[in-house]
Structure 1
Amino acid sequence: MKASMDDLYLFILTVRHGGISAAAQAHGLQRSKVSRRLQELEKALGCQLLIRTTRQIELTEHGRLLYKHINQPLSDVNQAISLLKNQQQSLQGVLRIAVPAAFIASAMFAALLDDYARQFPDISLEVIHRHQSVDLKRENIDLQLLPDIVDIINEDYIQQVFFPSKRGLFCSPHYLTKNPMPQGLNDLFEHAILTSHYDSSTLPEGLNIRLISEDLGLVSRMAQSGHGIALLPIILVQQQIKTGTLVHVLPDIYQSEIAMTLVYSSRQFLPQKTRVMINLLRDKFLNHR
């Protein structure tokens, strides 16, 4: 679909007047028509230009790029249109992904980035530490991964829960030489507990929380050093269990589910670089147990 010059003009008016209603009123146009034509322009370019709120509009990164060039000679306008389309369709540029430190520390995430970087060498990766939901459009972030217990800031964003796994309690054999093996959940009140901020909310109140960290690698290392009993995803400590550096505590009594939520802003305006990362995540983790 080719972008209409009339729609580009309406885009200019909307930006200059700071909103769709203001632009329509100033030029004697119907608001619904201006809104519809702007949607057609976004559809033609394959990307979102405006963040619409009740009283005003904000420009996305693509919107700012287009507006920057649109008052230039026609050749520059056409160049800007081609640039936007190429950005959406090409496997180049920067992919920005927000991930909590707990997941960044995992070998699985490192393997995922390694596969992505090998398959798409022209795409640069920017990994941003975030443990709360962010406004993807305003912060110019392509994807976010969060524990499924975290509320998403924008309910219109696409959300997919994947990577279901189990959590368990683990400690080192050295810890058990100085402390008795718990026989039930009530025995945990006599032990030091190591956990993350997310996981601490799933534990009984009143426990002796010795360490809270979003870096699950740190939690695991502290458990291996004998500082307490750690609540960790089982998938992250399988090697430590095999080598005997960690012991599974109360395996038949305490286990809880954990999953991750994949968040992105739109299906309609999904750049190819983002789409291939989503597909890679699904292939690796969607059916993982």
Structure 2
Amino acid sequence: MMTQLDDLNLFVMTVRHQGISAAAKAAGMPRSRVSRRLQELEKALGCQLLIRTTRHIELTENGRMLFDQTQASLNTLNTAMSRLQQRRMQMEGPLRLAVPAAVASSPTFISMMQQYIERFPRVNLEVFYHQHSVDLQRQNIDIQLLPSESEVINLDYVRQTLLPFPCCWAASPAYLSKHGRPQDEGELKQHSLIASRHIAAVLQQDLSFRLRSDDLHIVQQLTAQGMGIGLLPEVFVRRTQPEFQLERLFGDRLAMEMGLSLIYSSRTFLPEKTRKMIDLIRDTFIQLNQQS
């Protein structure tokens, strides 16, 4: 019959503390429970391990052999378990994120990475560009940001929808002066359009784009330089540098909302450094929604 490791551990503790009461106190358990577990261990092994007296305990020959054979192994096991628990709580080492290129180049994402690095300087961030769902566990990725429309490769992973990025059409004053300002979305077909590949793919309209890129900074810069009308997250339009002014088109109407999902492999066994990044991402998107 298989015995439980924690029963063996209680046996070793009882020998080391020279009594069941002392072992129970060290383990934070009632004495009766420790005594019962030791009896179950003896029953499982088919031999007596301890000679119990009023004041102390003695080892039988079988008990001495078991103690000598197991205490070193249990010490190693307990040390390993303690180190694993400490490692889970440590704020150091690598933290790997998979994100679409368009998201990685956004001011919001860059700001989040800056905040995290400043708060936790011993954590080493690694950012990988992935447009589609990855197997987090096999590829050793801690967190993925994924467009909400995308399928997740492993349905057991945790998926949380973040508040969406509102997107709008915008153009530079120079472009509008040269080509005219469209009065509604129907006139966009008469203009050169620029967008990220993902945003353009999600937008359900019969539009032709002169340029698509995974890098939103390219879309922003080319739009600001008068190369066309850009489809951009509002945050890119609001934060354009003074020398690259953009004007939002069609009033307050949104072109679309770009949804993002936060993906990670487990709620239960999250390292603390991963949990802190998840909290930062959630809080950032909540603040963005409050500002809009």
TM-score scaled by structure 2? 0.69
Q: In the alignment, residue 154 of structure 1 is paired with which amino acid?
A: N
List gaps (5 residues or longer) in structure 2: 7-72
CA distance in 1, matches of 2:257, 2:187: 22
The equivalences for 1:98-117 within 5 A come to 98-117=98-117
2: CA distance, partners of 1:263 / 1:204:
26
Question: Match for 2:140: what amino acid?
Answer: N
Q: In structure 2, how many angstroms separate the alpha carbons of the residues matched to 1:174 and 1:204?
A: 28
1:216 aligns with 2:228: no
- CA shift, 1:243, in A, is 6.8
Give the Cα–Cα distance (whole angstroms) in 1 for the partners of residues 128 and 202 of structure 2: 26
Q: Distance in 1 between matches of 2:221 and 2:109?
A: 18
2:253 matches 1:258: no
1:141 CA displacement: 0.7
Q: 1:244 to 1:251 in 2, by over 3 A?
A: farther
What is the rounded CA distance, in whole Å, between the counterparts of 1:130 and 1:244 in structure 2?
29
- Within 2, Cα distance between the matches of 1:116 and 1:177? 42
Q: Which moved more, 1:278-287 or 1:184-193?
A: 278-287
Q: Decide whether aligned partners of structure 1 residues 280 and 252 sit closer, same or farther in structure 2, where only a CA change above 3 A counts.
A: closer
Checking the alignment, whether the CA contact within 8 Å between 1:161 and 1:261 is kept in structure 2 is: yes
Report the more deviating stretch, 242-251 or 106-115. 242-251
Amino acid at match of 2:198: Y
Where do 1:1-289 residues align within 5 Å?
Answer: 5=5, 77-240=77-240, 245-289=245-289
Identity of aligned residues (%): 39
Q: Tell me which structure has the larger Cα radius of gyration.
A: 2
**The 10-residue stretch of structure 1 (106-115 or 267-276) with the greater mean CA deviation from structure 2:** 106-115
Q: If the length of structure 1 is used for normalisation, what is the TM-score?
A: 0.69
Alpha-carbon spacing, 1:202–1:123, altered in 2? closer, same or farther (3 Å): closer
How far does the alpha carbon of each residue in 1:70-101 deviate from its partner, in whole angstroms, 9 at most, with x for none? Answer: xxx77665554333222212212211111111
Question: Would the alpha carbon gap of residues 259 and 273 (structure 1) be closer, same or farther in structure 2, given more than 3 Å must change?
Answer: same
Partner secondary structure for residue 218 of structure 2 = helix
Where does the alignment leave 5 or more consecutive residues of structure 1 unmatched? 7-72
> Deviation per CA, 1:3-51, whole angstroms, max 9, x where unpaired?
x659xxxxxxxxxxxxxxxxxxxxxxxxxxxxxxxxxxxxxxxxxxxxx
How big is the shift at 1:168?
Answer: 0.3
